[in-house]
């Protein structure tokens, strides 16, 4: 007997031929009864799910989070207890590029993590920068439209980007970081990850704290210059996917030191910056970073589509001990991601192996496309048949806190030192080296010199950077040839 494996249809029937369609005579027309051909062609037409509306191009791997320090005084979350080891998945990405876009374009990098905890999934869907371009979700789709392609020409347009940014002064901090060489990392292994938002932590006694996450690369930061990044785009558009995959294959497992900043709950009210404003960091002199553990990537996916393309991360996936803050951007994202997954993957996206939690699920949601998890019986609550019951109120109790106020459409109440330019100015003045500054100027000038950027926009670009720092604005003016004696 032959030991060859026999190809089959998806239904397991032996394949009649891998090369020849069924026809009426060798030269005749094909037959509708050739269900094997039809299954192949029909399935091929359905090989794609829609690409993510943002962060379409990416790659990922599995790893483990290990907690080495005792932070039980701040959170009761089981994954953050000393000695805990939690399996996790990460997906790194660029923001604006489509599925085939080069990995090395200037862009923030997505840093989306899923932790498979015993209390269900905890997702931390961050970026490689600690801040973001805007502070209200109302502006998110407009912001993204300005970064992607024009409706008329289907071309990217740097004028749209600078138009939006210069009319949105809250973007100055994130655009500053983007225009340094950190906007073009050499690999995903050589960049930090940030939860970016402020989150709520609460301990077993119900005491509350605000927290920010920093995943600091143990490989060291490595960036490309603008010219190197452009060369890398031509040489290998998939450089970052390849780099991560080959590093893990050769046993060179990248790791990150996991740090947090902790703010006692009551200090938020009169902190000098609004601690929930996503365009701001918490300066280290106020809230130093505390190391709590290490996160290591050690396993590549076996099926890119099943495990990475269909991976679904959602900032709304919290476990007891962790909750949302009133950051308006985070609040908007709590809705947006599960909604995106229901559209992109389908309503049962949480039943896919990569997304399903590792603990047992006893949900009263059932049926819908591609269901295979058994529903609980009975399928309604309350019931008298001993069906699953809600968690004890103490489990989630710590996340509650009081709020009051008029219903308004309003900017945040300003805190003492809130200013869109103060923190990017600190970056320019205190943090960047002379070389970093030189590259930042070159990168801005290169970007804003694109032929489509109008004279009016260029003037606003200069003003925007002068607001960050006069020297920076003057150098940009010189580079762009804007002659406005300031």
- Using CB under 6 A, list all residues that contact ligand NDP: 130, 177, 180, 182, 192, 216, 281-285, 423, 426-427, 430-432, 436
Q: Which position among 121, 127, 128, 355 bears the catalytic label? A: 127
Q: How far is the CB of 349 from ligand HEM (least distance, A)?
A: 9
- CB-nearer residue toward ligand HEM: 117 or 196: 196
Give the Cα separation of 295 and 85 in Å (integer). Answer: 9
CB 82 within 8 A of CB 70: yes
In the three-class reduction of DSSP (H, G, I as helix; E, B as strand; rest coil), residue 388 is classed as coil
Select the residue interacting with ligand HEM from 165, 202, 287, 313 (CB under 6 A): 313
Cα-based distances in Å from 378 to 348, 351, 360, 366, 386? 20, 20, 17, 11, 8
- CB-nearer residue toward ligand HEM: 142 or 417: 142
Give yes or no: 410 in active site.
Answer: no
52 binds ligand HEM (CB under 6 A): yes
CB 72 within 8 A of CB 83: no
Q: Show the tokens assigned to 420.
A: 């869109």
Q: Which position among 13, 27, 55, 355 bears the catalytic label? A: 55
Element (H, E) at 426: helix 422-426
Q: How far is the CB of 24 from ligand HEM (least distance, A)?
A: 46
Residue tagged 């269901």 (tokens): 371
Q: DSSP character for 64?
A: E
- CB-nearer residue toward ligand HEM: 279 or 443: 279
125 binds ligand HEM (CB under 6 A): yes
Instruction: Residue 294: name its binding partner from ligand NDP, ligand HEM, none (Cβ under 5 to 8 Å by kind).
Output: none
337 binds ligand HEM (CB under 6 A): yes
Q: How far is the CB of 418 from ligand NDP (least distance, A)?
A: 13
By rule CB under 6 A, what count of residues binds ligand HEM?
Answer: 28
CB contact set of 95 (below 8 Å; sequence gap of 6+):
54, 55, 107, 108, 109, 110, 147
- CB-nearer residue toward ligand HEM: 53 or 167: 53
Instruction: Residue 312: name its binding partner from ligand HEM, ligand NDP, none (Cβ under 5 to 8 Å by kind).
Output: ligand HEM
Q: Which of residues 174-213 bind ligand HEM (CB under 6 A)?
A: 196
Instruction: Residue 79: name its binding partner from ligand HEM, ligand NDP, none (Cβ under 5 to 8 Å by kind).
Output: none
Q: How far is the CB of 45 from ligand HEM (least distance, A)?
A: 21
Task: Find the length of the chain.
Answer: 486
- 126 beta partners: 111
Element (H, E) at 214: strand 208-217
In the three-class reduction of DSSP (H, G, I as helix; E, B as strand; rest coil), residue 98 is classed as coil
Q: Which of residues 317-336 bind ligand HEM (CB under 6 A)?
A: 329, 332-333, 336
Give the Cα separation of 68 and 257 in Å (integer). Answer: 10
Give the Cα separation of 257 and 84 in Å (integer). Answer: 15
54 binds ligand HEM (CB under 6 A): yes
Stretch touching ligand HEM by CB under 6 A, among 53-61, 64-72, 149-157, 417-425: 53-61
CB contact set of 212 (below 8 Å; sequence gap of 6+):
130, 194, 195, 196, 197, 198, 199, 260, 261, 281, 282, 287
Instruction: Residue 283: name its binding partner from ligand HEM, ligand NDP, none (Cβ under 5 to 8 Å by kind).
Output: ligand NDP
Instruction: Residue 427: name its binding partner from ligand NDP, ligand HEM, none (Cβ under 5 to 8 Å by kind).
Output: ligand NDP
Instruction: Residue 127: name its binding partner from ligand NDP, ligand HEM, none (Cβ under 5 to 8 Å by kind).
Output: ligand HEM
- CB-nearer residue toward ligand NDP: 354 or 472: 472
Q: Show the tokens assigned to 142.
A: 């407009």
Q: Phi, psi (5° rounding) for residue 19?
A: -125, -30
Closest to 239 in 3D by CA, of 251, 227, 252, 230: 230
- CB-nearer residue toward ligand NDP: 172 or 345: 172
Stretch touching ligand HEM by CB under 6 A, among 63-71, 121-129, 291-299, 318-326: 121-129
Give the Cα separation of 459 and 480 in Å (integer). Answer: 9
**Apex CA 35: angle with CA 29 and CA 41, to 5°?**
80
Cα-based distances in Å from 106 to 109, 175, 177, 444, 446? 9, 11, 11, 11, 12
CB 63 within 8 A of CB 218: no
Contact letters (x/-) for ligand HEM, 70-99, by CB under 6 A? ---------------------x-x------
Q: How far is the CB of 442 from ligand HEM (least distance, A)?
A: 27
Alpha carbon 388 to its chain centroid, in Å, reads: 33
Q: Show the tokens assigned to 201.
A: 């932590």
- 323 beta partners: 200
Q: Which of residues 233-292 bind ligand HEM (CB under 6 A)?
A: 278
Q: How far is the CB of 178 from ligand HEM (least distance, A)?
A: 13
Give yes or no: 483 in active site.
Answer: no
Q: How far is the CB of 435 from ligand NDP (least distance, A)?
A: 10
Instruction: Residue 281: name its binding partner from ligand HEM, ligand NDP, none (Cβ under 5 to 8 Å by kind).
Output: ligand NDP
Residues with active-site annotation: 55, 127
Q: Residue numbers of the site for ligand HEM (CB under 6 A)?
A: 52-55, 58, 91, 93, 110, 112, 125-127, 132, 137, 140, 196, 278, 311-313, 329, 332-333, 336-337, 340-341, 344
């Amino acid at each position: 007997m032959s030991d060859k494996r026999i190809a089959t249809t998806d239904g397991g029937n032996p394949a009649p031929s891998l090369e020849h369609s069924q026809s009426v005579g060798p030269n005749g027309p094909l037959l509708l009864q050739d269900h094997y051909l039809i299954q192949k062609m029909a399935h091929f037409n359905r090989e794609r799910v829609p690409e993510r509306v943002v962060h379409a191009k990416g790659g990922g791997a599995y790893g483990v989070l290990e907690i080495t320090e005792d932070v039980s005084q701040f959170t009761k979350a089981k994954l953050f207890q000393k000695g805990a080891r939690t399996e996790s998945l990460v997906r790194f990405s660029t923001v604006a590029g489509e599925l085939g876009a080069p990995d090395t374009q200037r862009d923030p990098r997505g840093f989306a993590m899923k932790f498979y905890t015993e209390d269900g999934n905890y997702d931390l869907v961050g970026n490689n920068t600690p801040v973001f371009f805007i502070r209200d979700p109302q502006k998110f789709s407009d912001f993204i439209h300005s970064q992607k392609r024009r409706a008329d020409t289907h071309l990217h347009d740097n004028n749209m980007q600078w138009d939006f940014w210069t009319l949105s002064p809250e973007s100055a901090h994130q655009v500053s970081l983007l225009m340094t060489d950190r906007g073009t990392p050499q690999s995903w292994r050589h960049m930090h990850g940030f939860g970016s938002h402020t989150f709520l932590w609460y301990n077993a006694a119900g005491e509350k704290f605000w927290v920010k996450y920093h995943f600091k690369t143990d490989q060291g930061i490595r960036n490309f210059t603008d010219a190197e990044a452009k060369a890398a785009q031509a040489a290998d558009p998939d450089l970052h996917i390849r780099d991560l995959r080959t590093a893990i294959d050769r046993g060179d497992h990248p790791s990150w030191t996991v740090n947090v900043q902790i703010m006692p709950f009551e200090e938020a009210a009169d902190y000098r910056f609004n601690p929930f404003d996503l365009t701001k960091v918490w300066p280290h002199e106020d809230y130093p970073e505390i190391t709590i553990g290490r996160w290591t990537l050690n396993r590549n996916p076996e099926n890119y589509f099943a495990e990475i393309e269909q991976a679904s991360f959602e900032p709304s996936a919290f476990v007891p001990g962790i909750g949302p803050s009133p950051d308006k951007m985070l609040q908007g994202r709590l809705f947006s991601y599960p909604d995106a997954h229901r559209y992109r993957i389908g309503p049962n996206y949480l039943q896919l192996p990569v997304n399903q939690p590792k603990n047992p699920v006893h949900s009263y949601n059932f049926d819908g496309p591609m269901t295979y998890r058994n529903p609980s019986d009975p399928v309604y609550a309350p019931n008298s048949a001993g069906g699953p019951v809600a968690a004890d109120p103490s489990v989630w109790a710590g996340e509650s806190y009081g709020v009051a106020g008029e219903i308004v459409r309003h900017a945040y109440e300003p805190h003492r030192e809130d200013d869109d330019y103060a923190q990017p100015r600190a970056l320019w003045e205190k943090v960047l080296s002379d070389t970093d500054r030189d590259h930042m100027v070159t990168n801005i000038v290169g970007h804003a010199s694109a032929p489509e950027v109008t004279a009016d926009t260029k003037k606003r670009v200069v003003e925007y950077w002068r607001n960050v720092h006069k020297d920076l604005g003057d150098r940009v003016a010189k580079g762009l040839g804007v002659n406005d004696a300031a």
